[in-house]
Amino acid sequence: MTELVFAALMLALTLALGLVRAVIGPSTGDRLLALQLLGSGGVGILLLLSAPLGLPALVDVALVLALLAVVMAAAYAAR
């Protein structure tokens, strides 16, 4: 259980640093990459929480979040 707590804390730290980069990023590309990091970190936290909480629906939510992140990156690349 302590491994899951440690992993969740590291993901939360990653999310905090990504949020800082999203706010102060010098270019739009930097902000997009920071938002991709936030999405990936969110997916990781949801997947970490799904097993101990016994909520398999969190895996589905994580999958939808990951798909939305891919669509966002594709939309930005096509721009």
Domain ranges of the chain: 2-78
Q: Which two tokens stand for residue 13?
A: 């730290």
Is residue 16 packed enough to be buried (19+ CB in 10 Å), middle (13-18) or exposed (0-12)? exposed
Would you say residue 72 has pLDDT above 90? Answer: no
For the chain, what is the mean pLDDT? 90
Q: Residue 8 has what pLDDT?
A: 87
pLDDT tens string 20-57: 998 998 888 888 889 899 999 999 999 999 988 899 99
Q: Average pLDDT of 48-71?
A: 93
The model's pTM is: 0.84
Q: Residue 78 has what pLDDT?
A: 83
Assign 26 to helix, strand or coil. coil
Find all residues with CB under 8 Å of 43, minimum gap 6, and list them: 62, 65, 66, 69
